[in-house]
Amino acid sequence: MVLKDSHICENLTMDNHRNAIATTTAPAGTGQIAGSRTHKRRLTLSLNTVVLLGAFFICSLVAVSFIIYNFATCNELSSLSDENIVCSPVRLTHPSKSGQNNSIDTLDETPHYEKDVRLPRSIKPLRYNISLTPYLHNENFTFEGEVKISFLVETADCYNITMHAAELNISKSGVEVRRAKIKDIQSPAPEAQLRIRKQYLIEAKQFFVIELYDKLKRDTEYEINIKFNGLLKDYLQGFYRSSYKVGNQTRWLASTQFQATDARRAFPCFDEPALKANFTLNIARPVTMSTISNMPIVVTKPHESLPNYVWDHFAESLPMSTYLVAYAITDFSVLSDGNFSVWARTNAINSARYALKVGPKILKFLEQFFDIDFPLPKMDMIALPDFQAGAMENWGLITYRETTMLFEEGISATTNKQRIAAVIGHELAHQWFGNLVTPRWWSDIWLNEGFASYMEYLTVDAIEPEWKTLDQFVVNELQNVFQLDALSTSHKISIEVCNPDEINEIFDRISYAKGSTIIRMMNHFLTTKVFRQGLSNYLKKIAYSSAEQNDLWHFLTMEATKHNLLDKNTTVKEIMDTWTLQMGYPVLQISRHPNTNVVRLEQQRFVFVNKTKSNNSNITEPLWWIPISFTTSTELNFESTRPVTWVPRTKTYEIENRNLSTAEWFIFNIQQTGYYRANYDLENWRAITNHLMKQTHYAEISAPNRAQLIDDAMNLARGGYLSYAIALNLSRYLIHETEHVPWKAAITAFNFIDTMFVNQGDYDLLKNYLLKLIDTVYQDVGFDDNVNNEHDMLRTFKRIEILNMACHLGHRGCISDSSRLFQNWLQEPNPDVNNPISPNLRGIVYCSAIQYGTETEWDFAFERYLKTSVSTEKELLLIALGCSKEPWILFRYLRHSLTGDKIRKQDVYRVFVAVSNNVVGQQIAFDFIRNNWQEIKAYLGTSISNLNTILKFATKRMNSKFLLNELESFVRNDLKDNGRSIKQIVEQVHINVDWMNRNYNTIVQWLKNEANKD
């Protein structure tokens, strides 16, 4: 605005100057200089000249005043550029999307985020008072709001306020800034408003900037008042709408999902985790609905202008981050146990009873574990029909996908109980680790998710010890994340992230599973007593504030030193930095030193690459502090997990131990508590294999370590560190194995080989070998299922794993039993009421019957999917419908998922994954994605994680150069995405192609030799 006014004055001045010269210059052609005239002339001014001179004087005065003022302002702003974001030059494009003249301007409307979108640190929010009115009636789907934010200017005087806002309409006249009233001084008159110079949105940063004429003074409290409105979209982020049906009637509701950076879509705010504040919410709702939020309702009052609406006023919260604010407006029913309540659709509320049963037990266990009482007056948990994540840990109001909270007796599988208990344990653990103490920035989100992922196993073990969840940790978390962390495109646990895209990408298996695995490793090398006390001290000291990983290392070191667990010169930080600030994990090569008592340990990073191509002396290998535990053939001690010694951050290390060096065989990494792989010399591998092959002796090695041996051997061979002959020879012992954990590891390892072989001419060799291996365990588990024997959860898991594998391999008995059970259901007069198939076997039966059936079976299953209201049953059917071998049915199914009338948006990715998991369907899914990418993106919105998930599964069997070129062309021409997830997908296909070249013929020859033995 100032620049435009200055240009006008300059033009007017030039015009005046020309007129003045004209009045004093001699007529053209006289040859005389005006100043040489000796006679005097009288100066006369016309009326126009007087007007122009007056205008010139006034405009010059205004211009000089603006220049002087703004020169001082800009100097002051420039001197504070590190503390206050001052807009870099950007082009003003158009008013904001509301189209209203009164709306604030939008700058730099680019489709991507800028690299750095951190807020300045001069302002600290103190309190929010938020009033929201959502309009769900008449399918209006808008909301109006007003937020009052009290803030403190902390570091220096400044002239601007930078905060977050996205997809909100903010009017220019709806923004006010004033100095806060001083409580100790009685003054009935409000403080004077500060003068706003300009206000605008920077879309590339999702910033809302207010520039002032009046200075914001250091150590002074101010208030911002902003009125806004927005749309209740169905993208499952921010403040969004959802619905469900009762008969033919559609019931609408609204809820929130703010993590990581979506609170700004619901109200303008300082949307960073460290900027904690107290929140007071006031939400208007129809009288026929109810509202819940983080805190309890204090009072409900009639709405002053909307008939049949009331205001729910909530108590002020404790200091918390914006991403933890939550509220839901629904017509749900509620069940309560004291101050612990569960909410769900009225026709599903009874399915929430199991969650209500285990929730208070887990909460009590966590209070004792951390030695800190739950600080809020109540806890609500709500099951939402549409929810993008599995669950969200909002403080005092945890939101869930229905399948992770609702259990329907007689319909849901007993394994769903463990899933529900684990998710509840995860989210309740967050109430301390994440909510009470929050990571200062998203770089340390693993502190949230890693701890919660580990605690979910501890909490379930505490309330249901018969399920032996701690034994399952190795195969579910550690061995699972090993696959991702072996890629060169993996990432450090603690990694610098700047914008929302980068932040969302690190909500992955590295943050969750690797985070939980190294925390479990700490628990074992520090001892549980020291570990728990260190955590408790950390949480108590930093409560209601934010922290980074170094803060945690400090408290754990203090406690470890107190109990003499660490050398005085060693800290937890020194050890753990090697695991959190480096990518990947080590493989430890362990070998005897000939004619001595020395065992040599050599570490290097484990990666899935051809080792002959990766030897580059110019690359510095990462090194780790590795806790060492081991046992021998004579000791057979698989209980003691305390480190016997450490491999310090050095390439090689030697242990002098006669018992170890002379043992028939030894096994390192007891219960696989360390986050590393163990590789042995050939003599040790052969000795271990011989012991396992003895049917009466294999069980002397603990089940978790048998799982470790299988997983290590098969993946060491996959990465080129060990021959496949050694690994496959060890796998032969599985003909005797009957326990779940080793079989889970084996099935996971063979699944990869299966994906590489399934489209090849030698697949029958692999299939026959695996069918021979599972024969004994298949007879053990059988097809008869005892639904009431829920305590033997491992046996139930084992049956599901084995039957899934058997049916996939074409086991005649498995397919016959599945088809028989499905036909019994199909012939039921009332199949939506009477389903004769055991809930634990439904996933297997549904998939097999549809796979080997016709259009009749598919249409029957799809009709059941549409009619059932039980979320777990819907999920099973949704996955099974992708098992058909008919290409046209699979293509139709993919089309169904994008129409929005039959399959919920939250479940679209499940449809693509189900079709991709089908051998026939994978290429169909990839071609469909490639041909409809823009439509899929437009339908799913900004859910990058779901988009990447469907592409990951649609490419997992690609293992030829032709298919690799197809993928790279699609990524290059259509995705134009250099994000980490896409790079990982492309790298995995590169690895598959390389693996086929190196290993396919070797494995075929081994399988032929094995077949000839029969």
Burial 704-740 (b: 16+ CB within 10 A, else e): bbbbbbbbbbbbbbbbbbbbbebbbbbbbbbebbbbb
Helix (H, G, I), strand (E, B) or coil at 340: strand
Cβ–Cβ < 8 Å for 624, 586: yes
Rounded to 5 degrees, φ, ψ at 228 are: -155, 170
Residue 2 is encoded by which pair of tokens? 């100032």
Question: Residue 929, class by beta-carbon neighbours within 10 Å (0-12 exposed, 13-18 middle, 19+ buried)?
Answer: buried
Cβ–Cβ < 8 Å for 363, 378: no
* Secondary structure (DSSP) of 817-853: HHHHHHHHHHT-SSTTT---S-GGGHHHHHHHHHHTS
Cβ–Cβ < 8 Å for 104, 200: yes
Residue 298 is encoded by which pair of tokens? 């204090």
CB count, 10 Å around CB of 895? Answer: 12
Half-sphere exposure of 306 (CA within 13 A, CB side): 18
Residue 668 is encoded by which pair of tokens? 């390192």
Catalytic residue among 203, 408, 427, 456: 427
CA 759 – CA 750 distance, rounded (Å): 15
Cβ–Cβ < 8 Å for 919, 956: no
Residues with Cβ < 8 Å from 936, sequence gap 6 or more? Answer: 898, 929, 947, 950
For residue 264, give Cα distances in angstroms to 169, 545, 899: 12, 21, 29
Cβ–Cβ < 8 Å for 425, 391: no
CA–centroid distance for 639 within its chain: 34
| DSSP class of 410 | T
Question: Phi-psi category of 655—alpha, beta or left, where left has phi over 0 and alpha has psi -120 to 50?
Answer: beta
Beta strand 545-547 with 437-439 is parallel
Rounded to 5 degrees, φ, ψ at 301 are: -130, 155
Half-sphere exposure of 158 (CA within 13 A, CB side): 28
Whether 427 is catalytic = yes
CA–centroid distance for 482 within its chain: 18
Residues with Cβ < 8 Å from 857, sequence gap 6 or more? Answer: 822, 826, 849, 850
Kindly give the residue spans of alpha helices, DSSP state H, lying in 693-792. Answer: 703-718, 724-731, 740-757, 763-773, 775-781
Half-sphere exposure of 242 (CA within 13 A, CB side): 27
Residue 1001 is encoded by which pair of tokens? 């013929």
Residues belonging to the active site = 427
